[in-house]
Structure 1
Amino acid sequence: MTQVMKAIVTTGNGGYDKLVYKDVPMPIAEHDEVVIKVLAAGMNNTEINTRLGWYSSSVTDATNEVSEESGQPITEKTDGGWNAATPFPFVQGTDCCGVIVSVGAAEHSDLVGKRVLVRPCTRATDFTSMDNIWMGSDFDGAFAQYVKVRATEAFVIESDWSDADLGSIPCAYGTSENMLHRAQLQAGEVVLVTGASGGVGSATIQLAKRRGAKVIAVASKDKHANLAQLGADQLLDRHDDLIAILGESSVDLVVDNVAGQGFPQMLKLLKVGGRLVSSGAIAGPIVDLDMRDMYLKDIRLIGTTAWDEPVFGNLVGYIERNEIQPLVAKTFPLQQIAQAQQEFVTKQHVGKFVLIPEH
Structure 2
Amino acid sequence: MSHSIPATMHAVLLNGLGGLEQLEYRTDVAVPQPKDGEVLIQVRASAVNNTDINTRIGWYSKSISSDTGSGGAGGFDSVNGDDASWSGASLKFPRIQGADCCGYIVAVGKGVAASRIGERVIVSNLLRTYVDHRPYECWTFGSECDGGFAQFAVAPSKETLKVECDWTDAELASIPCAYSTAENMLHRTKLGVEVVLITGASGGVGSAAVQLAKRRGATVIAQCSAAKASEVQALGADRILDRKADFVSILGENSVDVVVDIVGGEDWPDLLRVLRLGGRYAIAGAIAGPMAEIDLRTLYLKDLTLYGCTFQEDEVLTNVISYVESGEIRPVVAKTYPLNEIHQAQEDFLSKAHLGKLVLIIPEVNQ
TM-score of the superposed pair, with normalisation by structure 2: 0.94
Equivalent position to 1:157, from 163, 171, 177: 163
CA contact (8 A) 1:13 1:76 kept: no
Equivalent position to 2:37, from 32, 52, 55: 32
Note if 1:202 corresponds to 2:217. Answer: no
Equivalent position to 1:142, from 143, 148, 160: 148
Counterpart of 2:308, as a letter, is G
CA contact (8 A) 1:130 1:306 kept: yes
Which residue is 1:58 aligned to?
63
> How many Å separate the matches in 2 of 1:129 and 1:342?
36
After the TM superposition, which segments of 4 or more aligned residues of structure 1 sit over 3 Å from their partners? 124-128
Which residue is 2:220 aligned to?
215
Equivalent position to 2:24, from 6, 20, 26: 20
> How many Å separate the matches in 2 of 1:74 and 1:66?
10
> How many Å separate the matches in 2 of 1:355 and 1:321?
26
Note if 1:130 corresponds to 2:136. Answer: yes
> How many Å separate the matches in 2 of 1:147 and 1:207?
29
Which residue is 2:243 aligned to?
238
> How many Å separate the matches in 2 of 1:155 and 1:305?
20
Per-residue Cα deviation, 1:142-198 (whole angstroms, up to 9, x for no partner): 0000000000011111101111110111100000011110111112x0000001111
Which residue is 2:282 aligned to?
277
Change (3 A) 1:299 1:106: closer
CA contact (8 A) 2:18 2:74 kept: no
What does 1:162-311 correspond to in 2, within 5 Å?
Answer: 162-187=168-193, 189-311=194-316
1:280: Cα distance to partner?
0.8
Which ranges of structure 1 fall in alignment gaps of 5 or more residues? none
* Equivalent position SS for 2:53: helix
CA contact (8 A) 1:108 1:151 kept: no
Q: CA RMSD in A?
A: 1.5
CA contact (8 A) 1:14 1:76 kept: no
> How many Å separate the matches in 2 of 1:59 and 1:30?
36
1:269: Cα distance to partner?
0.3
1:68: Cα distance to partner?
3.0
> How many Å separate the matches in 2 of 1:339 and 1:16?
9
* Equivalent position SS for 1:311: helix
1:127: Cα distance to partner?
5.0
What is the number of equivalent residue pairs in this alignment? 357
Counterpart of 1:90, as a letter, is R
> How many Å separate the matches in 2 of 1:233 and 1:284?
27
> How many Å separate the matches in 2 of 1:119 and 1:107?
17
Counterpart of 2:270, as a letter, is Q
* Equivalent position SS for 1:261: coil
Change (3 A) 1:13 1:358: same
> How many Å separate the matches in 2 of 1:275 and 1:259?
15
CA contact (8 A) 2:38 2:112 kept: no
1:75: Cα distance to partner?
4.7
Which residue is 1:77 aligned to?
81
1:66: Cα distance to partner?
2.1
1:304: Cα distance to partner?
0.9
Which residue is 1:8 aligned to?
12
Between the two proteins, what is the percent identity of the paired residues? 48
Change (3 A) 1:25 1:209: same
TM-score of the superposed pair, with normalisation by structure 1: 0.97
Which ranges of structure 2 fall in alignment gaps of 5 or more residues? 1-5
Which residue is 1:317 aligned to?
322
Which residue is 1:49 aligned to?
54
1:77: Cα distance to partner?
2.2
